[in-house]
Amino acid sequence: MSLAGEVAVREIRREDYDAWLPLWDGYNTFYGRSGPTALDPAITAVTWDRFFDSAEPVHALVAERDGVLIGLVHYLFHRTTIMIAPTCYLNDLFTAPEARGAGVGKALIEAVYARARAAGSTRVYWSTHETNATAQRLYDHVAQKSGFIIYRQDV
């Protein structure tokens, strides 16, 4: 793939599925959701359908260079008890390995910021794994650490 072309960030389209799926699979593999711990294909199918359901708060953007998808970002809006405006949660961010270090992740994050502002949101937040030092180098330049630690429990 040529890295010479400009990166364009745009809304995902139904015809993007075959190009989006390897990025989605790469994201899940990165976080250990492959092989015996892979996501149930039904989750992928429902996630994909949510992007195109106007009743869903889940959205997707893709980064494209020279007609090839090289990154994805999924985000959603939700209410919170400390703000009137909706809050935007950046749920998933992934860049194809061969496109890393070229500003794709930053472009995707900035596109989410723009979508959040347009929706009346005043905050975008996300989490990353503590071992993801590469991503944290980018995040340290485009956002502030909140100081919060995330706990979770499957029920």
- Domain range list for the chain: 13-142
* Averaged pLDDT, 61-66: 97
Please report the pLDDT score of residue 117 as a whole number: 97
Whether the pLDDT of residue 48 is over 60: the answer is yes
Distance (Å, whole) CA 144 – CA 140: 6
Please report the pLDDT score of residue 153 as a whole number: 87
Whether the pLDDT of residue 9 is over 50: the answer is yes
Q: DSSP secondary-structure letter at 37?
A: G
* Averaged pLDDT, 86-115: 96
Report the share of the chain in percent with pLDDT over 90.
79
| 140/37: higher pLDDT | 140
* Averaged pLDDT, 100-129: 96
Distance (Å, whole) CA 5 – CA 137: 24
Distance (Å, whole) CA 77 – CA 23: 22
Q: DSSP secondary-structure letter at 110?
A: H
Arithmetic mean of pLDDT over the chain: 93
Architecture of domain 13-142: 3-Layer(aba) Sandwich (3.40)
Q: Could you give the angle at which helices 104-118 and 133-142 cross, rounded to 10 degrees?
A: 50
Q: DSSP secondary-structure letter at 76?
A: E
Alpha-helical (H) ranges within the chain are 17-30, 41-50, 104-118, 133-142
- Put the strands of the sheet holding 83-95 in their side by side order: 7-11, 58-65, 68-80, 83-95, 124-125
Query: Is the CB of residue 73 less than 8 Å from the CB of residue 92?
Result: yes
Please report the pLDDT score of residue 150 as a whole number: 87
